Chain A
């Protein structure tokens, strides 16, 4: 029997070794997280020898919106080439979940958000003594879609959208607008947990609640399929889901009072298309000021974001907003520790 127990132990050991071999490639970056608990501890010791903006190390904890997550991850992908010893952990708990960790637990340095922070959330931050800075990084155009077989409908006004998606729940196109065909409306939209839903109902339509009578899904691809297969359907989601399914979908124009505008990169950027939502990252001020790796990452984020945002499927933030974001970060970094300026310059 003894032999057998030993076999088992050695097999386990072999497995463990295998794993070690797998991970052996970058032992340097593995050492780094050891200083995770102390946060900037590891970074500051290195910064003394490389304040010129050389290698930094440490961990950056990020969580929040699953919409912004892939964008932040794309930046982290690029950043890893410049600063291989900085470990960026990106979670996708959702915008609300991200703020819960950011303000409630204080366990993240950055919160990804696909909507502005809500009052209660900001209050929670204040209670816990967490000062934060809102940074605009990009834009997403909410796109209303229907099936390509839908005829006679190409543009909706805010009031008409509110009729369909508001508590009124109008389910016949001719009741939305007498010029529209007499056909039943099938609605496919994100479920109530999603930031996309929140933005449509509260920010775009200014409503308190939405219709209950619609096909809700957490997966935008399911919405795309539903709309695609149903003539006279109506649905909405992020712009990327339209561009990736554009063959089977027809985008509807949106009229916020100044005429019909089709969703698109240009119309969203020059603010003609009004159904856009901002994408944010929220920075914990103390993290930016005290952790060199966070300051470096955020600076890098704003320099790189426009070159990767198209790949992820979103739209560049307006130039002035982005400039404003850069200013905010600069002030934040220089506000307390002027020596950190060196690293941000050299990163450019």
Chain B
């Protein structure tokens, strides 16, 4: 029955499967239902998590949480140092990892000769994406804090987190670059544009939506990380704000503050202040993602 497979025949079979009340139709619907369940599990778990945190934390979100520094009284505890620290990290990590990541991906995809060295680098970037984050923290502590004597500063935190997500950004950016039709490259070069012009004005803008998607996901991961920045010396408590241009300053970050709060003996810290901190962290993430999605949509439209 399946011996001759023409598009028409296939369409008929599919039609039969959808409409005929036989065993095959049931199987098709069962399969579809199974997929629906798989989707639902992911969405429901996320929803339950968000709702649970919202119920715990929302009543305890107020202006104090944004304007004040840490306190021994749960109701006066504010995340100001963590918020400014995390925002500064986000900006620095975004800049560093985007520039280096996209640069590296462009080289590997557009310029690198296909030799053993390139293949070695490619294999390693893929592998690095799976290295546990705390390892990057130890690397950051060993190389930047001590070897380069940068101290436990904002820039070391940002470099460490950037290294953590670089492999992900490079892999995603290469996928995006590969998806750009080769005809565009040939057309650009054929019309006399230099490789720089072709890649900078045609290829990269085409690939940008994909690159941005990868970068958003990677950045989101970086911002929630606790282990690597704990190792390079993120502070639990400061009483001043971080700004992205003061890169020598000591720094704090929201995940570190939440991490400490859940271990406090006082129930109010665990059950009220920590969830409030988690919500603030989530909101910052969503804010960042929405900016990136806005940018991505702009590019998708203009190209």
A7 surroundings in chain B (CB, below 8 A) = 295, 298
- Give complex CA distance A212, B211 in Å: 50
**Interface footprint category on A:** 35 or more
A22 to B81, CA, bound (A): 10
CB distance from B207 to the nearest CB of A (A): 13
Q: Does B221 interact with chain A (Cβ within 8 Å)?
A: no
Q: How far is the CA of A80 from the CA of B70 in the complex (A)?
A: 11
Tell me the nearest residue of chain A to B266, going by C-beta.
A244
How many B residues touch A, CB cutoff 8 Å? 44
- Binding site of A, secondary structure by majority: helix, strand, loop or mixed? helix
> Are B250 and A89 in contact (CB-based, < 8 A)?
yes
Question: Is A144's beta carbon under 8 Å from chain B?
Answer: no
Q: How far is it, in angstroms, between the C-alpha of A220 and the C-alpha of B83 when the chains are bound?
A: 27
Residues of B within 8 A of A244 (CB): 265-267
The verdict on A90 contacting B91 (CB below 8 Å), with A240-B266, A312-B72 known, is no
Rounded to whole angstroms, the CA-CA distance of A308 and B72 in the bound complex is 8
Q: Is the interface of B mostly helix, strand, loop or mixed?
A: loop
What 1/0 flags go to A10-40 for Cβ under 8 Å of B?
A: 0110011001101101100110110011000
- Closest B residue to A2 by CB, please name it: B201
User: CB < 8 Å: which of A36, A77, A241, A243 contacts B70?
Assistant: A77
- Roughly how many angstroms separate A171 CA and B53 CA in the complex, as a whole number? 39
When distances are taken between beta carbons in the complex, the residues of chain A under 8 Å from B248 are 36-37
What A residues does B88 contact at CB under 8 A?
A: 19
Q: How far is the CB of A34 from chain B (nearest CB, A)?
A: 8
Binds A, one of B8-16, B123-131, B229-237: B229-237
Residue interface mask A299-314, B partner, CB < 8 A = 1: 0000000001001110
- A23-B71 Cα distance, complex, nearest whole Å: 19
Contacts A23-B243, A89-B250; is A11 near B266 (CB within 8 Å)? no
Answer yes or no: B73 CB below 8 A from chain A CBs. Answer: yes
A80 with B295: CB separation less than 8 A = no
B122 within 8 A of A: no
How far does the Cβ of A64 sit from chain B's closest Cβ, in whole Å?
11
B72 partner, pick from A8, A19, A63, A73, beta carbons under 8 A? A73
- Cβ–Cβ contact B72 & A70, under 8 A: yes
Chain A residues with Cβ under 8 A from B250's Cβ?
A: 33, 59, 61, 89
Q: How far is the CA of A32 from the CA of B246 in the complex (A)?
A: 12
27 contacts between A and B (CB under 8 A): A1-B205, A1-B302, A4-B205, A15-B87, A15-B91, A16-B245, A19-B243, A30-B243, A33-B250, A37-B248, A63-B233, A69-B237, A73-B237, A77-B69, A77-B70, A77-B239, A80-B69, A88-B237, A88-B239, A89-B237, A90-B235, A92-B236, A93-B233, A218-B263, A219-B262, A219-B263, A311-B73
A residues within 8 Å of B by Cβ? 1, 4, 7-8, 11-12, 15-16, 19-20, 22-23, 25-26, 29-30, 32-33, 36-37, 59, 61, 63, 66, 69-70, 73-74, 76-77, 80, 87-93, 107, 218-221, 238, 240-241, 243-245, 308, 311-313
Footprint of A on B, CB under 8 Å? Answer: 69-73, 83-84, 87-88, 91, 95, 151-152, 201, 205, 233, 235-246, 248-250, 260, 262-267, 270, 291, 295, 298-299, 302
Interface pairs A-B: 10 shortest CB-CB: A23-B241, A240-B265, A74-B72, A90-B237, A241-B265, A244-B265, A73-B237, A29-B240, A92-B236, A311-B72
